[in-house]
């Protein structure tokens, strides 16, 4: 859930993120190949621009109404110092103002001015050291909010511009990107950015194809210089991100943005008589009474905790939507999403307060569902303080928590390790919980292996695999069933030889369970050994097989697209 701040403060935060992350574009090049020497940002000149940035959201359909906002401001670029090709630009962001989409607004634009915290944030000039289109340094005044810092890094990134056509790797507010420059006139150049990535913006993906969300992005920027190539007349950047379900692409939403920087006026100003960048910074610092700190163009992650409500308070607010009789409708789903978000930044004490409140007794199963998805150190610690896996009277709540964790697409490796220790060390876990726990471990270990940093978790994954295989080996009769099911959840290719051995030499029922586990694997893992075993099982070439085994073997052969041979 987003923090308890005004919606307009949120809009500003979103704008700062979009400007920094999505629009950290490099747009102030000139067609050097067409027009000889380039003198952008001549020292002793100040250039005033009008910034107009619009962000719109819709459902990716032509006739749907969009929602959104735009921010306008004046941006003054003052070239106050130079040495060879190195220039220092003093940048001021003046009179930023929010406009929101409203039904009350006149057509066709549909925007009206609205107050926001943007107008109250500390906003000081900042410095950019620019050389041949590259931002070498950005210096920001101390004491500004992270939102404002990121906003200014986005503006500075606009000034990072290559002066010729080609493909280059660039790092700016949007991260590391591949930038492709092209030009079709002496004063105009276009830029296309692709493959942008940044560690500052954590992203997740679901390993299950039916639940995964894909994104298609396009980023195009066009800018035009004046005929003398001494300043930029305009910058126009357009960007679109479409998020959709791969299995049904018409279920989608779209973020559209347009950012325009238009030249308004130019004037002559005084210059600094300094020998080095450091001396020039010191002069400005003393003159303006500011203390500057050097930063990179990469944006900083903003904390959403300030002003937000605690988990226990949010539970109190949303308790009415979590009652069992209302589950399955829209409002409980929204409440669930909000509480998962809040739980992921809540403290152990805060979560424990919600779990021990008598008022929440009737919704405890739903709270354990939520915390099973949250999967943080604090949330797990609070749960383990409230329930004990070896307690008979807590079986239902323990199961709710374990099942929720098994469905989460982003398992916490530390929690997997802790649950594995619980499984191996606790000797009096009720059979029902023991079964759910090993199935959950198999599912969580499989999803750990699907994460981008899965190599860091291979030891834990192997430990889970070894535990399941050892228990399968030691179990007798019906007790083996649960471990076959755990292997089905694990999806580990390393277990294929064991499963094939049970198909070949085990009981008929064990053969069925082994085929069920193999059939759950990705079809890419069905190698020659599996297909050979499937042929033998279907035609009963080496032994008699259960009819279910033959059916499963036939399914595998058909899905493997066998040849006519």
Tell me which of 371, 386, 401 is where a domain ends: 386
We report the CATH number of the domain holding residue 107 as: 2.30.230.10
Angstrom distance (rounded) from CA 49 to CA 46: 10
* Shared-domain flag, residues 35 and 121: yes
Q: Would you list the DSSP string of 274-291?
A: -SSHHHHHHHHHHHHT--
At 207, the pLDDT band (50, 70, 90 cuts) reads low
Q: Is residue 473 part of a domain?
A: no
Q: For 452-493, write each residue's pLDDT tens digit.
A: 788 889 999 999 999 999 999 999 999 999 999 999 999 999
Q: Measure the CA angle with vertex 216, ends 109 and 221; round to 5°.
A: 55
Residue written as token pair 């030499």 = 505
Residues 565 and 557: their CA atoms lie apart, in Å, by: 13
Closest C-alpha to 131, from 220, 41, 57: 41
Among 318, 351, 386, identify where a domain stops: 386
As a whole number, mean pLDDT of residues 238-250 equals 86
> Where is 98: in which H helix or E strand?
strand 86-101
340 and 224 together in one domain: no
Q: Residue 200: pLDDT band by 50, 70, 90 thresholds?
A: low
Q: What is the pLDDT of residue 354?
A: 96
pLDDT-derived band at 115 (thresholds 50, 70, 90) equals confident
Instruction: Output 30 or 96, whichever has higher pLDDT.
Output: 96
Structural domain includes residue 406:
no
State the pLDDT at residue 11: 46
Q: What is the DSSP letter of 319?
A: G
Supply the pLDDT for residue 304.
Answer: 57
Higher pLDDT, 20 or 312: 312
The gap from C-alpha 17 to its chain's centroid, in whole angstroms, comes to 13
Query: What value does the mean pLDDT of the chain take?
Result: 86
- 178 and 242 belong to one structural domain: yes
DSSP notation for 513-565: HHHHHHHTS-GGG--HHHHHHHHHHHHTSSS---HHHHHHHHHHHHHT-----
Residue 441 and residue 403 in contact, taking contact as beta carbons nearer than 8 Å: no
Of 269, 187, 287, give the one whose Cα is nearest residue 232.
Answer: 187
Residue 354 falls inside a structural domain: yes
348-356 and 377-386 are packed helices; what angle lies between their axes, rounded to 10 degrees? 30
Which of residues 6 and 293 earns the better pLDDT score?
Answer: 293
* Closest to 354 in 3D by CA, of 305, 319, 321, 330: 319
| 223 touches 234 (CB < 8 A) | yes
pLDDT tens digit sequence for 350-380: 999 999 999 999 999 999 999 999 999 999 9
**What is the longest distance spanned by two Cα atoms in the chain?**
95
- In this prediction, residues 428-452 reach a mean pLDDT of 94
SS3 134: strand
Residues 244 and 338 in one domain: no
SS3 of residue 488 by DSSP:
helix
d(CA 351, CA 343): 7
- 263 and 331 share a domain? no
State the CB neighbour count (10 A cutoff) for residue 273. Answer: 9
Cα distance between residue 185 and residue 482, in whole Å: 70
Same-domain pairing of 224 and 334: no
**pLDDT over 90 percentage in the chain:** 57
Per the DSSP assignment, residues forming a β-bridge with 48 are 76, 265
Lowest model confidence (mean pLDDT) among 23-37, 73-87, 238-252: 23-37
Domain around 51: 7-295
- pLDDT at site 10: 42
**pLDDT average, residue stretch 124-136:** 91
Higher pLDDT, 39 or 317: 317
The secondary structure of 162-176 as a DSSP string is: -SSSEEEEEEETTEE
Sign of CA dihedral 95, 101, 102, 107: positive
Structure tokens at 390: 């070896």
Minimum mean pLDDT range among 79-88, 206-215, 281-290? 206-215
The vertex-245 CA angle with 241 and 247, nearest 5°, equals: 140
Cβ contact 553:537 at 8 Å: yes
Distance CA(384)–CA(388), nearest Å, equals: 6
Residue 533 lies inside a defined structural domain of this protein: no
Whether 467 is in a domain gets the answer no
Same domain for 127 and 24, yes or no, is yes
379 plus 291 within the same structural domain: no
Average pLDDT rounded to a whole number, residues 314-340? 90
Integer Cα distance of 156 and 130 in angstroms: 10
Establish if 238 belongs to a structural domain.
yes
If pLDDT is split at 50, 70 and 90, which confidence band does 7 have?
very low
Spatial separation of the C-alpha atoms in residues 387 and 389, rounded to whole Å = 7
* 125 plus 210 within the same structural domain: yes
State whether 373 and 259 are in the same domain.
Answer: no
Residue 466 in any domain: the answer is no
Distances (CA, A) of 484 to 36, 117, 150, 473, 516: 73, 57, 51, 11, 9
**Phi/psi at 388 (5° precision):** -130, 125
Tokens in use for 295?
């930063």
- Which of 386, 412, 432 is at the close of a domain? 386
For residue 111, what pLDDT is reported? 87
Number of structural domains the chain divides into = 2
Task: Note the pLDDT tens digit of each residue in 262-285.
Answer: 999 999 999 999 999 999 999 999
User: Could you tell me if residue 511 is inside a domain?
Assistant: no
Tell me, what's the pLDDT at 101? Answer: 86
Q: Is-contact 161 26, C-beta < 8 A?
A: yes
Fill in the DSSP letter of residue 430: -
Shared-domain flag, residues 255 and 356: no
Confidence of residue 201 (pLDDT cuts 50, 70, 90): low
Q: 106-123 b/e with 16+ CB inside 10 Å = b?
A: eeeebbeeeebbbeebeb
Report the C-alpha gap between 501 and 470 in whole angstroms.
15
Q: How many whole angstroms separate alpha carbon 254 and alpha carbon 318? A: 29
Residue identified by tokens 């992203």 is 203
Separation CA 248–CA 466 (nearest Å):
38
Cα 234 from Cα 240, distance rounded (Å)? 20
Cα–Cα distance, 437 to 443 (Å, whole number): 10
Q: Which pair of structure tokens corresponds to residue 460? A: 């834990």
Q: Are residues 236 and 340 in the same domain?
A: no
For residue 157, give the nearest of 184, 177, 187, 183 by alpha carbon. Answer: 177
Residue 59, pLDDT score: 82
Ranking 21-35, 55-69, 290-304 by mean pLDDT, the lowest is 21-35
């Amino acid at each position: 859930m987003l923090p308890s701040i005004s919606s307009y403060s949120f809009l500003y935060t979103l704008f700062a993120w979009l400007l920094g992350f999505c629009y950290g574009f490099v747009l102030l090049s000139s067609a050097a190949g067409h027009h000889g020497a380039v003198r952008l940002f001549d020292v002793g000149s100040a250039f005033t621009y009008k910034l107009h940035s619009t962000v719109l959201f819709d459902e990716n359909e032509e006739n749907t109404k969009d929602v959104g906002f735009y921010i306008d401001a004046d941006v003054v670029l003052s070239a106050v110092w130079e040495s060879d090709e190195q220039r220092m630009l003093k940048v001021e962001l003046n009179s930023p103002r929010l406009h929101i989409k409203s039904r009350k607004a006149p057509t066709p634009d549909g925007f009206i001015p609205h107050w926001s915290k943007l107008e109250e944030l500390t906003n000081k000039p900042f410095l950019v050291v620019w050389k041949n289109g590259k931002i070498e340094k950005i210096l920001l005044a101390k004491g500004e909010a992270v939102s404002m810092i990121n906003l200014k890094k986005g503006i500075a990134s606009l000034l990072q511009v290559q002066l010729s056509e080609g493909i280059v790797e660039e790092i700016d507010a949007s991260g590391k990107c591949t930038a492709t420059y092209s030009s079709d006139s002496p004063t105009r150049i276009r830029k296309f950015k692709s493959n942008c990535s940044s560690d500052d913006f954590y992203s997740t993906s679901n390993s299950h194809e039916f639940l995964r969300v894909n994104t298609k992005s396009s980023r195009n920027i066009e800018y035009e210089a004046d005929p003398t190539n001494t300043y930029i007349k305009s910058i126009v950047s357009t960007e679109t991100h479409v998020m959709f379900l791969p299995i049904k692409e018409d279920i989608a939403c779209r973020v559209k943005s347009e950012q325009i920087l238009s030249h308004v006026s130019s004037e002559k100003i005084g210059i600094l008589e300094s020998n080095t960048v450091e001396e020039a910074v010191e002069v400005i610092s003393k003159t303006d009474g500011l203390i500057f700190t050097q930063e990179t163009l990469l944006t900083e992650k903003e904390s959403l905790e300030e002003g937000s409500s605690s988990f226990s308070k949010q539970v109190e607010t949303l308790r009415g939507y979590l009652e069992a009789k209302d589950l399955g409708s829209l409002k409980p789903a929204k409440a669930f999403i909000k509480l998962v978000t809040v739980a992921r930044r809540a403290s152990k004490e805060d979560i424990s307060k919600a779990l021990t409140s008598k008022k929440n007794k009737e919704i405890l199963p739903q709270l354990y569902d939520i915390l099973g998805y949250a999967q943080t150190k604090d949330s797990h610690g609070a749960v383990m303080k409230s329930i004990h896996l070896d307690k008979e009277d807590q079986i239902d709540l323990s199961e709710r928590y374990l099942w929720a964790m098994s469905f989460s697409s982003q398992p916490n490796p530390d929690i997997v390790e802790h649950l594995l220790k619980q499984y191996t060390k606790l000797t009096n876990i009720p059979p029902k919980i023991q079964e759910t726990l090993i199935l959950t471990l198999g599912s969580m270990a499989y999803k750990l292996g699907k994460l981008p940093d899965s190599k860091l978790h291979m030891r834990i994954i192997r430990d889970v695999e070894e535990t399941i295989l050892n228990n399968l080996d030691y179990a007798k009769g019906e007790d083996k069933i649960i471990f076959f099911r755990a292997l089905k959840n694990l999806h580990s290719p390393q277990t294929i030889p064991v499963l094939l051995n049970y198909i070949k030499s085990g009981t008929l029922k064990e053969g069925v369970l082994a085929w069920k586990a193999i059939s759950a694997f990705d079809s890419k893992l069905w190698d020659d050994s599996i297909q050979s075993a499937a042929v033998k099982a279907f035609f009963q070439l080496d032994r008699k097989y259960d009819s279910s085994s033959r059916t499963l073997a036939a399914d595998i052969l058909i899905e493997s697209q066998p040849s006519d041979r």
